[in-house]
Amino acid sequence: MPRPHGFAYEAHLNGTVRITHHNHPATTLNGDRAARFLTEVTAGDPQLVMARWTGDYKRGNERTARNHLRNRRRQPLPHSGRR
């Protein structure tokens, strides 16, 4: 699985943090969530932290979910010709 890239963040004086992905807005954090994000992004891998906070990351279970019964295309029942 490729590592996340293309994320950037801006911390504003009013306590707001804006996260972008390839120069497109991804999310805005305010208050306590912004403070927690800033402490976490300085302690770990910034790209991975921003991907996790924006929800833009793969969990590795996409193939399993695709094969689940509720996600399969429904096949029409064979028509018996009788009513």
How is the chain split into domains, by residue range?
Answer: 7-59
Percent of the chain residues past pLDDT 70, beyond the cut: 64
Q: How much is the pLDDT for 74?
A: 63
Mean pLDDT taken over the chain? 81
The whole-model pTM stands at 0.64
Q: How much is the pLDDT for 80?
A: 65
pLDDT at position 19 over 90: yes
pLDDT at position 41 over 60: yes
Give the whole-angstrom CA distance, residue 74 versus residue 83: 22
pLDDT at position 1 over 90: no
Give the whole-angstrom CA distance, residue 78 versus residue 82: 11
Packed helices 46-54 and 31-43: angle between N→C axes, nearest 10 degrees: 150
